[in-house]
Amino acid sequence: MGFLSNKISRDDVKPGDHIYSWRQAYIYAHHGIYVGDGQVNHFTRGDGQETGTGTFLDNIIVSSSHNHGDNPCPDCGDRSNLGGVISSCLECFLAGGDLYVFEYSVSPAIFLAKPRGGVCTIASSDPPEEVIYRANFLLQNGFGVYNVFKNNCEDFAIYCKTGLLVANTDVGRSGQAASIVAAASVLLSSPLRFVAGFGGLAVAGYGMYCTSRLVSDIGMRWDVSKVPVERLVADVACMSEMEAKPEDEKTT
């Protein structure tokens, strides 16, 4: 693994590692937790399910489970229609892509030197045994409803590694989602209109983008707390029950 790339070989992956592989010509990456014995626990939406954004992303971000067509994997079978937390072999998780490892405890300088989000964080990882316990517990009990901005595969993997949850759920823990929001903020920012010249505009815009990414990182945010996985699952179940009730019963 080098400074500019987090790519590793299959022989170097270790149980408890947060791994990812790029999809759709590097448009986005799919994340998961390697739990050992060639298996990866990951959070996905099933084929044909909406991401819930109501935007063009619903058409770009397809199921992250590999579709083998008429030749299902002898170990995994066909899991392309499954949603939620699932377990796959490493080859099915990679779906023909390369293997990368997500970095933890990086310095702010290293974080900013990697201009694309979703590859590292300033936050520290918990020990591998805790990471694997969370990943397996969520495999059995779920991680809520998939949403590309608020609750996605990277959010799942980061929670398994850190046990941290964000109080404000407008955007989750995902570095990829934070990068999209940061880029949109730069494009829509009115102060940039007053910066003279294209060069000044580019410098100011990149500075805003980097600052937004940094303050949104799970290791920098103030609105995070350590939540035991058992409590997380109980809270998700309680929320699901409340949402299933008729409107008149929710206020009583």
Q: Which residues are the active-site residues?
A: 30, 42, 153
| Token pair of 74 as six digits | 């002898």
Q: 73-98 burial, b if ≥16 CB within 10 A, otherwise e?
A: eeebebbbebbbbbbbbbebbbbeee
Give yes or no for a contact between 54 and 10, defined as CB atoms under 8 angstroms apart. Answer: no
Joined tokens for residue 173: 């823990």
55, 141, 162, 169, 174 from 17: Cα distances, Å: 32, 21, 12, 25, 17
- Residue whose pair of structure tokens reads 């999209």 in the numeric block: 180
Residue 100, strand partner residues: 7, 20
Nearest Cα residue to 33 out of 118, 153, 117 = 153
Give the span between the Cα atoms of 156 and 145, in whole angstroms.
11
